[in-house]
Amino acid sequence: MKKNPILRETSHVLIPVILLFALYVQFHGDYGPGGGFQAGVIFASGIILYVLLHGIKKTEKIISLQTTKLLAALGLLIYCAVGVAGMLLGGLFLEYNVLAADPVAGQHWGILFIELGVGITVASVILAVFYAFAKFEK
Amino acid sequence: MISALINDLYAYWISVLLMMAGLYIVIDHSNLFKKLVGLNIFQTSVFIMFIAMGKVDGGTAPIIEKGYTVFSNPLPHVLILTAIVVSIATTSVGLALVVKINKHYQSVDEQEIEKIELQE
Amino acid sequence: MTALMIINMRNILSVIMLGGIYSLISAILFVVLDAVDVAFTEAAVGAGISTVLFLSAFAITGKHHDLKRRNHFPALLAVLVMGAGLMYSTLDMPAWGDAEAPVHQHVAPRYLEDSYAEVGVPNIVTSVLASYRGFDTLGEVTVVFTALIAVLLLLGAIREDEDQS
């Protein structure tokens, strides 16, 4: 696949757009269809496209299996941290109303961070699973 | 009377038919990849069932916007959104098991694996 | 239709590709049923990622055929019995699209009426997912994380990393 110039050049154009679209879906999830799950999947598929065209070795220099494992744990930790932050500020676990002075603003912050955690976890889990399959030797 | 019944319930029947197709693949085919695809069809039939239940006639997607008052029920959407992401997770675990089985038996077919087991 | 074609296909590669097409069709169906978020996810996950994972696992095993079957009858009988039972039970269900159905009476009206004032997010699916049902989503992210651990253990990717370091 490395020798096919059309695919390679198209991917150069497409991959940044896919990653940017993933971020749009991530942060526009409050207003339109979208959110952490979809954004994570789209982000991972952008990177998987890079792997398919440039090979796994080149991609691992940018983002390695170890990094994806750490990021997967980090996303889950962000989610839990939001819950615990609500507890520390005097609310219940995962109660966002106390995160800011105004309850609605607090809800906004809570949802933003939780979606961020979900997005990071989903993207890195899918990428790590793909790496695991791609690196497996018979 | 019959036509009214069909009109009222056909969305559920579609999902029952898909579920039958998925179950048939899972039971009758011995190739493990095909079994997983069948399992995915089975799952999707349940998704369609839930989403069909959430539909309201004349409703629109549950995003609040001026000028719309009738919305579909958002609760099934949330549940199924979660279920889809879990389904990809379980599928990936299933595929990993298939790959492991292939490494051990050099086969992804249940019938061949049974033969190998009997020989040992 | 695609599901019926999948039953008859023996070449596993075409089964996998048809599985992807089937996901895409069901995504279109979800759009028709007003579930835009679900359709988005199904198109990205079912048609995109799961096909890629199937193909990469398929590339590892490299087995192309489904064997001829012995006896279809028991499976067919079981499926028909289940289908008939389910069909019979759908007769008791409320009509499709009925706004008075029990599904729409429990918590859904509250989400539809109050969520904008309480959460301030126009997309109700997002607000229910992340706010009202935050625990569900937390459990679900944990499931995804656990699946990653299971896959890495099964494929031995964890050991490999330790060998390198």
Which ipTM was obtained for this model? 0.81
Residue range C59-86: mean pLDDT, rounded: 75
Residue C81 maps to a domain: no
DSSP β-bridge partners for residue A14:
none
SS3 at position A41: helix
Report residue C84's pLDDT band, with 50, 70 and 90 as the boundaries.
confident
Contacts of C145 in chain A (CB under 8 A): 72-73, 76, 121, 125
pLDDT in tens, A28-72: 777 777 778 888 888 888 888 888 888 788 878 888 888 888 888
Q: Please tell me which residue, A3 or B89, carries the higher pLDDT value.
A: B89
The SS3 of residue A33 is coil
- Cα gap B45→B78, rounded to integer Å: 16
Distance from CA of B71 to the nearest CA of C (A): 8
Chains with 3 or more CB pairs under 8 A to chain A: B, C
User: Per-residue pLDDT tens for C103-148?
Assistant: 667 666 777 777 676 766 777 777 777 777 778 888 888 898 898 8
Q: Do residues C87 and B16 make contact, with C-beta atoms less than 8 angstroms apart?
A: yes
Does B103 touch chain A if contact means CB atoms closer than 8 Å?
A: yes
> Whats the size of chain C, residue-wise?
165
Nearest in space to C36 (alpha carbons), one of A112, B56, B81? B81
In which domain, by residue range, is A57 found? 5-135
Give the minimum alpha-carbon distance from C108 to chain A in angstroms, rounded to a whole number. 18
Distances (CA, A) of A84 to A78, C32, C54, C137: 10, 40, 38, 15
- Here the tokens at position B20 are 């039958």
**Could you tell me the residue range of the domain that residue B87 belongs to?**
2-119
Domain that holds residue C54: 1-69
Phi-psi region of C127 (alpha: psi -120 to 50; beta: other; left: phi over 0): alpha
Answer yes or no: do C6 and B11 touch at CB < 8 A.
Answer: no
Strand, helix or coil for residue C156:
coil
Which chain B positions have a beta carbon within 8 Å of A133's beta carbon? 95-96, 99
Distances (CA, A) of C57 to B112, C42, C158: 19, 21, 18
Residues 77-116 of chain B whose Cβ lies under 8 A from any Cβ of chain C: 77-82, 84-93, 95-100, 102, 107-109, 111-112
**Per-residue pLDDT tens over the stretch B95-108:** 888 888 888 887 77
In this structure, the answer to whether residues C7 and C64 fall within a common structural domain is yes
- Under 8 Å between Cβ of C112 and B74: yes
Total number of domains in chain B: 1
Would an 8 Å CB–CB cutoff place C161 in contact with chain B?
Answer: no
CA distance C62 to C49: 19
Size of chain A in residues: 138
* Cα–Cα distance, A108 to C131 (Å, whole number): 10
- Mean pLDDT (whole number) for B63-73: 71
Task: Report pLDDT for C63.
Answer: 61
Task: Count the domains in chain C.
Answer: 2
Determine the Cα–Cα distance for residues C134 and C136; give it in Å rounded to an integer. Answer: 5
Establish if C99 belongs to a structural domain: no
Tokens of C28: 């279109």
Angle at A92 between CA A87 and CA A95, to 5 degrees: 95
Query: Closest to C141 (Cβ–Cβ): which among A38, A79, A134?
Result: A79
Domain of residue B8, CATH code: 1.10.287.3510
pLDDT at B27 over 70: yes
State the pLDDT confidence band at A2, using cuts at 50, 70 and 90: low
- Contacting residues of B for A122, CB less than 8 Å apart: 85
Assess contact for B26 and C67: CB atoms under 8 A: no
pLDDT in tens, A16-28: 898 888 888 888 7
User: How many structural domains compose chain A?
Assistant: 1
Instruction: List chain A residues with CB under 8 Å of C147.
Output: 125, 129
Asked if residue C51 is part of any domain, the answer here is yes
The SS3 assignment for A60 reads helix
